[in-house]
Amino acid sequence: MTQGGTAQLRPYFADGPRGPLFCLDVEPAAAARRGHLLLIAPFAEELNRSRRMMITLARRLAFTGFAATIADLHGTGDSAGRFADASWRGWLDDLAFLRREIGDRGPLWLAGIRTGALLAAAAMAEDRAGVVGALMIAPVSSGARFLAQFLRIRIAAEMARDRRETTAALKARLEAGETLPVGGYALTPDMARALSEASLAKTPPPDVPVLWFDVAAQAVPEGELRARLPEVWRRNAVRVHGIADAAFWSLQEPTVPARLIDGIVARLEAVA
């Protein structure tokens, strides 16, 4: 275990349902803990671009008494399997396994970043046991809309080669059973189907405190932000916060969104 400031870092491999999962625990030096966050990363390349943010957030939280686990789900990062081997169902199984592994190490919060918010909501819909709260960080509300944006990465790359493709044509190929390379990732028909079906509008929020953080170049006022939420999420238990900061998940140069991290730490301290 290595120690930096008052945060202790412990990298390890956990025996996940489909093979080893690389995990990093970031823990406060003090024995007493205010809570434990399971950070659920974004999809494909957004994961790599979010790593610095996740580690910085976990360290900051450790300074205030919160522990955190950052895990590469099956087929991602340093965990077992290729991206083509991964599945939405498998990722939900990984999260259930990780929640059991964390056990009683402190009140558990699920923190979903981007598409990780879709996974967090689905995981809590299946089993909320032990979860005391959730953080939705720059959440993707519609997996179908995200899939269309993801496919545009391939369309742009093909245009640079003077090849024209359309989102509709790519979706048709996926529906026909073809696996497509997109931005260096093998997008399988099963993953595309599960992603297109994932939606916060179809997944009511859990009966626990939810902190929702919208990230934009200019902070969106609370009233406007609440009006944008999926209807089933427009409830008092969901606290919305508009943060003016960089879209860290989309930037090639690793970026620490300082205002976002400050906001998350302050709001979590206030409710946990």
**Domains of the chain by range and CATH?**
2-141+199-271 (3.40.50.1820), 143-197 (no CATH)
What does the pLDDT profile of the chain (272 residues) look like in tens digits?
Answer: 444 457 999 999 999 999 999 999 999 987 678 999 999 999 999 999 999 999 999 999 999 999 999 999 999 999 999 999 999 999 999 999 999 999 989 899 999 999 999 999 999 999 999 999 999 999 999 999 999 999 999 999 888 888 899 999 999 999 999 999 999 999 999 999 999 999 999 999 989 999 999 999 999 999 999 999 999 999 778 999 999 999 999 999 989 999 999 999 999 999 98
Closest CA to 211 of 126, 143, 111: 111
- Provide the pLDDT for residue 3: 42
Q: How far is Cα 225 from Cα 31, in angstroms, rounded to an integer?
A: 38
How far apart CA 184 and CA 158 sit, in angstroms, is: 13
Q: Is the pTM of this model over 0.75?
A: yes
